Amino acid sequence: MAEYSFFSLLKNAWNGNRDWKPAWSKAEPKTDYDVIIVGGGGHGLATAYYLAKEHGITNVAVLEKGWLGSGNIGRNTTIVRSNYLLPESIRFYDFSVKLWEELAHDLNYNVMFSQRGILNLAHSPAQADDYIRRGNAMLHGGGDAEWLTPGEIAKKVPGVDLSKSARFPVVGGLLQPRAGTARHDAVAWGYARGADRRGVDIVENCEVTGFLREGDRVVGVKSTRGEIRAKKIAVAVAGSTGRVMKLAGIDALPIESHVLQAFVTESLKPFVDTVVTFGGGHLYMSQSDKGSLVFGGDLDGYNSYAQRGNLPVVEEVMSEMVALFPGLARVRLLRSWGGVMDMSMDGSPIITTGPLPGMYLNSGWCYGGFKATPASGWTFAWTIAKDAPHAINAPFTLERFHRGALIDEKGQGATPKLH
Amino acid sequence: MLITCPYCGPRDLAEFSYQGDANRPRPDQHDTDQARWNAYVYDRSNPAGPHREYWQHAGGCRKHLLIVRSTLTHAIESVAFAGAQGATPRPARRSPKSRTKTGPAKGKKP
């Protein structure tokens, strides 16, 4: 019987809910593992899960400096999509959406993946052409895309200002119907439980403070809970990539850490049943099951590890929201927060062996890491287990920057502000 | 975040635009070494702590500034004019008045 099912619910209700096991146990670190994963965020936990499930490698420790779900996996705007232009990105993110579609069954954990679609609004004929081109690329790549006229948008999202007098009049929108949102904490908890039940040690409050080296090779980590050795050390620490890699002596990477803010309003009645993005500036918004509008915009724009942003971006995001949805002008904002993003120089991630022998690196997620969680974990686990990348993540190397083989969706040159 | 422009005084962050990491020495333009140019274009030290970076007071005097700011707390250690002198601050002008006489801000003269 599956651990979570209608019958287990009945049985435990009958027993007064005394027999539930914690979703993951608080493991004490051993001194030796086959694989250590530094970083117990979504990607680290997914990597541990797929290492155990797909490759039978269960002598694994996931080291998390805080508690599970305390990083970006619990701080994002929960959007899942694969509306990309370049073949490498389409293949990777579409694979991710396919894993998302089966994730709740696979994990036996309700991640509340809701395929409510994502609608990118276009505000000029040039932007419409660009979006339609991207939609065609998605269709060529085996994905799904539809072009909506303003009339169709009015039916789908009644709150949008579609008037000719809007500051940025809407000329159409690119819809990816299979995109959507998911419950972000459940993703962390579901992967954690899945990995834990297969024998992975999930060690919380264990910060890596250094790496153990034998010559060039990385053979373990120093941590706040002692030295831990392993044959393979995988690093999946998102915004902390710079900090952690410095501990291994890697002083420069094609990554900058930036702060991105997100916002939640008070709860409203059902208002929007898809994810809407504003092409006149940068805004993405959806409505959570609790009724609050969850939205965000651009990076603050300066290097930061602070997990909090400044007011100019708050003002900009709010003004874009009101430009697009004038009816929301009097809705009150409940919370805002910031997360640290590992912004790569071409806007695409890095999932690779190296850069040191015995080490594996997963980073550069910009602000699209959440949607990639399953594919990132799956391909990273493959890369660790086989010491070589899978075809899906083979283009996402670290050397691509120095070979000129960038995966730059916008084709606008090296900058850490892409996504 | 407030930035104290050496020319204009303390101003809101919204007036400034970020110009990025100031730790990367640009190779000489006649340098043909691929590795040095690659490192200049792509690689960043991305420190958690004091960070030398360029800003421009785009909504003010338009001066380019070299700022040392903590990426952990956003606290600003120092602000100086950016330029050939590097971190050496240039003497600030006495009064903005002498500048605005001929500056485009008044817009009276072509």
- pLDDT for A136 equals 97
Q: What kind and span of H or E run contains A352?
A: strand A350-353
Residue A96 included in any domain: no
Interface contact A303-B71, CB threshold 8 A = yes
Residue that is last in its domain, among A298, A326, A344: A344
Q: Are both A324 and A361 inside the same structural domain?
A: no
* Least confident residue range of A74-83, A270-279, B36-45, B96-105: B96-105
> Is A413 contained in some domain?
no
Count of C-beta atoms within a 10 Å radius of residue A269? 6
- Judge whether A38 and A208 are in contact, CB under 8 Å: yes
Average pLDDT, stretch A29-49? 95
Give the residues across from A253 on adjacent strands.
B44
Residue B30 covered by a domain: no
Mean pLDDT of A150-176: 94
| B7 Ramachandran zone, left/alpha/beta (phi>0; psi -120 to 50) | alpha
Minimal CA separation from A341 to chain B, in Å: 12
Whether the pLDDT of residue A352 is over 80: the answer is: yes
Residue A9 belongs to a domain: no
User: Over the stretch A83-93, which tens digit does the pLDDT of each residue have?
Assistant: 999 999 999 99
Are A299 and A164 within one domain? yes
| Coil/strand/helix, residue A16 | coil
What pLDDT is recorded for position B24?
A: 85
Tell me, what's the pLDDT at A1? 60
Same domain, A336 and A263: yes
Q: Is the pLDDT of residue B84 over 70?
A: no
Given the DSSP bridges, would you call strands A180-181 and A255-267 parallel, antiparallel or unpaired? unpaired
Residue B110 is predicted with a pLDDT of 44
Note whether residue B2 is domain-resident.
yes
Same domain, A53 and A132: no
pLDDT at residue A354 tops 50: yes
Which CATH number does the domain housing residue A151 bear? Answer: 3.30.9.10
Same domain, A238 and A292: no
Tell if the CB–CB gap between B48 and A312 is shorter than 8 Å. Answer: no
A342 residue type, one letter: D
Q: Is residue B98 part of a domain?
A: no
Q: Are residues A171 and A268 in the same domain?
A: yes
Same domain, A264 and A189: no
Q: Is residue B72 part of a domain?
A: yes
A339 and A263 co-located in one domain: yes
Nearest Cα of chain A lies from the Cα of B7 at a distance, in angstroms, of 22
Confidence band, pLDDT 50/70/90 cuts, at residue B25:
confident
Share of chain B above pLDDT 70, in %: 75
pLDDT band at A407 (very low <50, low <70, confident <90, very high): very high
Highest mean pLDDT among A16-20, A132-136, B101-105: A132-136
Mean pLDDT of chain A: 94
Concatenate the DSSP letters of all residues of A228-267 into one string. EEEEEEEE--GGGHHHHHHHTT---BSEEEEEEEEEEEEE
Does residue A1 lie in a domain region? no
Write down the pTM of the prediction.
0.91
**Crossing angle for the helix pair A87-107 and A184-197, to the nearest 10 degrees:** 70
Task: Establish how many alpha carbons lie within 13 A of residue A339's alpha carbon, considering only the half-sphere containing its beta carbon.
Answer: 27
- DSSP one-letter string for A61-126: EEE-SS-TT-SGGGTS--EE----SSHHHHHHHHHHHHHHHHHHHHHTS----B---EEEEE-SHH
- pLDDT tier for residue A418 given thresholds of 50, 70 and 90: confident
Question: CATH code at A244?
Answer: 3.50.50.60
Residues A294 and A174 in one domain: yes
What pLDDT score does A236 carry?
96
User: For residues B84 and A242, which has the higher predicted lDDT (pLDDT)?
Assistant: A242
Q: Which of the pair, A68 or B85, is modelled with greater confidence?
A: A68
Report yes or no: A358 and A218 within 8 Å, Cβ to Cβ.
Answer: yes
Q: How many CB pairs under 8 A join A and B?
A: 70
pLDDT band at B95 (very low <50, low <70, confident <90, very high): low
- Same domain (yes/no): A147, A260: yes
Full residue range of the structural domain in which residue A298 is found: 115-180+256-344
Q: Where does a domain end: A323, A344, A365?
A: A344
Dist CA A130 CA A43 (whole Å): 31
Chain B interface mutation, best of A209, A303, A310, highest count of B Cβ atoms under 10 Å: A303
- Mean pLDDT, range A88-117, rounded to an integer: 95
Task: Tell which residue, A74, A84, A19, has the closest CA to residue A41.
Answer: A74
Reported as a single tens digit per residue, the pLDDT across A62-84 is 999 999 989 999 999 999 999 99
SS3 state of residue A218: strand
Report the 10 Å Cβ neighbour count for A11.
Answer: 12
Both A235 and A279 in one domain: the answer is: no
Assigned token pair, A399? 């050397």
Residue B88 is predicted with a pLDDT of 45
- Region A277-284 average pLDDT: 93
**Domain around B59:** 1-23+48-93
* Contact yes or no for A303 and B41 at CB 8 A: no
For residue A3, being part of any structural domain is answered with: no
A139 part of contact set with chain B, CB < 8 Å: no
Choose the closest CB to A303 out of B13, B46, B73.
B46
Closest approach of chain B CAs to the CA of A253, in angstroms?
Answer: 5
> Number of folded domains in chain B?
1
Let me know if residue A129 belongs to a domain.
yes
Continuous segment of H or E residues that includes residue A283: strand A283-287
Q: Is the dihedral of CA B21, B25, B30, B31 positive or negative?
A: negative
**Residue A171 in tokens:** 């000329």
Task: Count the domains in chain A.
Answer: 2
More confident site: A403 or A1: A403
CATH number of the domain encompassing residue B65 = 3.30.2270.10
Q: Do A305 and B1 touch (CB under 8 A)?
A: no
Final residue of a structural domain among A344, A360, A379: A344
Position B38 in a domain: no
Confidence check: pLDDT of B109 > 60: no
Nearest CA of chain A to the CA of B29: how many Å? 18
In a domain, A7, yes or no: no
Does the residue A11 lie in any domain?
no
In a domain, B36, yes or no: no
- The answer to whether residue B19 is domain-embedded is yes
In this structure, the number of other CB atoms found within 10 A of the CB of residue A408 comes to 18
Which of B44, B52, B56, B65 should we substitute to test contact with A (largest number of A Cβ atoms within 10 Å)? B44
Q: Both A243 and A381 in a single domain?
A: yes
Q: Is A377 helix (H, G, I), strand (E, B) or coil?
A: helix
At residue A416, the 3 state secondary structure works out as coil
Q: How far apart are CA A364 and CA A398, in angstroms?
A: 10
A264 touches chain B (CB under 8 A): no
Q: Which two tokens stand for residue A212?
A: 């153990």
For A308, the closest chain B residue by CA position comes to B73
pLDDT tens-digit profile of A321-335? 999 999 999 999 999
What average pLDDT does the segment B51-63 reach? 94
The candidate with the shortest Cα–Cα distance to B71, out of B39, B43, B45, is: B45
**Amino acid (1-letter code) at residue A241:** T
Using 50, 70 and 90 to split pLDDT, how confident is the model at A417? Answer: confident
Q: Is B100 helix (H, G, I), strand (E, B) or coil?
A: helix
Question: Does any domain span residue B86?
Answer: yes
